Structure 1
Amino acid sequence: MTSRTCPCGLPATYDACCGRFHSGAASAPSAELLMRSRYCAFVKGDAGYLLRTWHPRTRPERLELDPGTRWTGLEILESADGSAFHAAGTVTFRASYRGGELVERSRFERVGGAWVYVDGDFLD
């Protein structure tokens, strides 16, 4: 991955991929793209974007990211529903970081037409 390639793993530059969601120029059109953009926000340290894309009923008041965490890759394991034709969806992913990885099945819903993260379950 070059420094210009988006951290989410798709073959596009950051600006053409997740950067447009982070800047507010566009909204993620699917649960999977929102999940990818949220992973990218963790990589970039963009807590504001993470809070803006969190469901109001489950969103924390604040979010403090660990600046020492170095995210190294994202793999989508499964995506169910979460398209323009759905009101909810799930995305199961593996996010790698220096020293480990986490696997989560995340739940997403639409609020006011926009996809938001609701919550997730960590998997073994």
Structure 2
Amino acid sequence: MTQAVFNPTALDDKLSNRFIELDPSGYFLIYLDRSGGVICADFYTNTINEKGLACDPETGEPLPCSGGLKRQPSAVFRGRTAKELCIEVFEKPETCCITRLDHAAYLGREFVRAESCLFGDQEYVQD
């Protein structure tokens, strides 16, 4: 009997395409600042419309997934490691902007991926 080979990349790709309920408080854009040696997480507020789409709180228009929209972040977080960034985002009551546990879990995973890319000198692309 042939045993199937587990493909973690295929599983991650499949899971990345599932439906997710958006956090009504907002979303993060995560990227690396290599010159500063930090992981960056910029937080943007949004509203969620009746179709479940993230919308600009000022205009009510759906936010494009492809980028291009120039908005100012509501909060800016920086950390040299995933742990330091998690502490900044989640453990300071005055700055915590997460309302969903699945959003917090997603951010933790992304921060670890970003840290690995920062230390491994690889390109980081947010999932």
With the length of structure 1 as denominator, give the TM-score of the two structures: 0.25
Larger Rg: 2
More strand by share: 1
- Of Structure 1 and Structure 2, which has the larger fraction of its residues in helix? 2
Return the TM-score normalized by structure 2.
0.24
